Structure 1
Amino acid sequence: MNVAVVTVGDELLAGRTTDTNATWLCEQLADRGVTVERVTTVPDRVGDIARVVNEYRAAYDAVIVTGGLGPTHDDVTMDGVAAALGRPMTEHDDALAWLEDHGYSRDDLTTGTAELPAGGRALHNDVGVAPGVTLEGVYVLPGVPAEMKAMFERIESDFSGQPVYREVVVADEPESALLDRLTTLRKRYDVDVGSYPGDSVRITLESTDEETVVAAAAWLRDRVDRE
């Protein structure tokens, strides 16, 4: 299963808010064996949201969108997703009923709170107010991290893939000195290799076969200088 993550918000692009949602979602998806192919941030503009969502839903198994939910003037994510899917925005009976059951009367709610793309399944917000939605492989979640995480728990079973096993080897050598050994490693073992230099070099080995990645890590540890 492959997925794209789209985060929405002018404040993200301006650097005023750190995009922790994308990092958290990528971790959750990777743990479930799902491959994240794209992480994209777009501004609070209907056209940009619609264009990116439409492109990604054609290319990937699912698209997760976070941010820009609610009834205020700059919360335009639902409108963008509705445009991408060719659906009108309508008041969602299930979303409204759930909010009323949880203490919000119609008079309490700002106009538009329960409006979702027509035909979508409402994703109820256990931590906040604004509902999310899922429709045609697109999942729309809030931008507030606590709300996003709680809502993701409602849909996490929709995301699964083949488990990926991972080992990390730390080498106390320059990265350039390791190139020949990493080339040999790739030839001997069917693993994905990542190399991340710093004070030392972190080498990550990944495979869908646990025995292979364990053997590859053991082989490499015997051939690098370690602290």
Structure 2
Amino acid sequence: MNAAVVTVGDELLAGQTTNTNATWLCERLDERGVAVERVTTVPDRVADIARVVNEYRAEYDAVVVTGGLGPTHDDVTMEGIAAALGRPLEEHEEALAWLGEDGYSRSELIEGTTKLPAGARALHNEAGVAPGAALEDVYVLPGVPTEMQAMFEAIAPAFSGTPTYREEVVADEPESALLDRLEEIRDRFDVSVGSYPGESVRIAIESTDEATAAEAAAWLRERVDTV
């Protein structure tokens, strides 16, 4: 299974808010064996949201969108999703009923809070008010991290794939000096290898087979100067 993550918000693009949601979602999806192949941030504009979601839902098994839910003027994500899927926005009675159980009356809710694309499954917001939505392998979650995380956990079983096992070797050599051994480990083992230089070089070794990842890491540790 592969996926794309779309985060929505002008404040993200302006650097006013750190995009922790994207990092958290990528980690959780990776843990479930899902390959995240795109992470994109778009502004609070209906056309941009619709264009990106429409493109990604044709390319990936799932699209996870976070941010821009609610009744304020810049909360336009649901409108963008509706435009991408060619559906109108409608008051969602089940979402209203859930909020009623939480102590909110219809008259207390601001107009637009419970409007979702027609045919969407409402996702209850256990940590806030604005509901999320699931429709045609597009999952729409709030932008508030605590709300987003709680809602994702409720739908996590929808995301599954082949687990990837990761081993790390830290080398006390320049990255350029390691090229021959990095090439050889790829030739010898069915693994993917990434190298990340800093004060030392972190070498990440990944495989869908746990024993292969461990064997490749052991082979490399014997052939590099480790920290």
Amino acid at match of 2:6: V
Residue 45 of structure 2 aligns with which residue? Answer: 45
Amino acid at match of 1:117: P
Separation in 2, partners of 1:149, 1:11: 20
Separation in 1, partners of 2:18, 2:163: 29
What TM-score results when the alignment is normalised by the length of structure 1?
Answer: 0.99
Separation in 1, partners of 2:153, 2:211: 31
Residue 119 of structure 1 aligns with which residue? Answer: 119
Task: Say yes or no: does 1:128 pair with 2:128.
Answer: yes
SS at structure 2 position matched to 1:90: strand
Residue 31 of structure 1 aligns with which residue? Answer: 31
Alignment of 1:84-95 (within 5 A): 84-95=84-95
Task: Say yes or no: does 1:146 pair with 2:146.
Answer: yes
Amino acid at match of 1:212: T
Residue 67 of structure 1 aligns with which residue? Answer: 67
Residue 217 of structure 2 aligns with which residue? Answer: 217
Deviation, structure 1 residue 179: 0.3
SS at structure 2 position matched to 1:40: strand
Give runs of ≥4 in structure 1 deviating > 2 Å.
none
Residue 80 of structure 1 aligns with which residue? Answer: 80
SS at structure 1 position matched to 2:107: coil
Amino acid at match of 1:101: E
**Structure 1: stretches of 5+ with no match in the other structure:** none
Using the aligned pairs only, state the percent identity: 75
Separation in 1, partners of 2:98, 2:8: 25
Separation in 2, partners of 1:126, 1:108: 18
Separation in 2, partners of 1:211, 1:9: 42
What TM-score results when the alignment is normalised by the length of structure 2?
Answer: 0.99
Residue 156 of structure 2 aligns with which residue? Answer: 156
SS at structure 2 position matched to 1:107: helix
Amino acid at match of 2:26: C
Deviation, structure 1 residue 71: 0.6
Separation in 2, partners of 1:16, 1:210: 40
Deviation, structure 1 residue 108: 1.1
Deviation, structure 1 residue 142: 0.2
Residue 173 of structure 1 aligns with which residue? Answer: 173
Separation in 2, partners of 1:71, 1:132: 13
Deviation, structure 1 residue 154: 1.0
Separation in 1, partners of 2:218, 2:165: 14
Separation in 2, partners of 1:67, 1:184: 44
Deviation, structure 1 residue 107: 1.4
Separation in 2, partners of 1:185, 1:104: 59
Amino acid at match of 2:50: A
Separation in 2, partners of 1:92, 1:107: 15
- Residues paired across the two proteins, number: 227
Separation in 1, partners of 2:33, 2:155: 15
SS at structure 2 position matched to 1:224: coil
Separation in 2, partners of 1:211, 1:226: 21
Deviation per CA, 1:172-213: give whole Å up to 9, x if none. 000000000111111000100000000100000000011111
Separation in 2, partners of 1:150, 1:186: 39
Deviation, structure 1 residue 226: 1.3
Separation in 1, partners of 2:215, 2:118: 52
Residue 194 of structure 1 aligns with which residue? Answer: 194
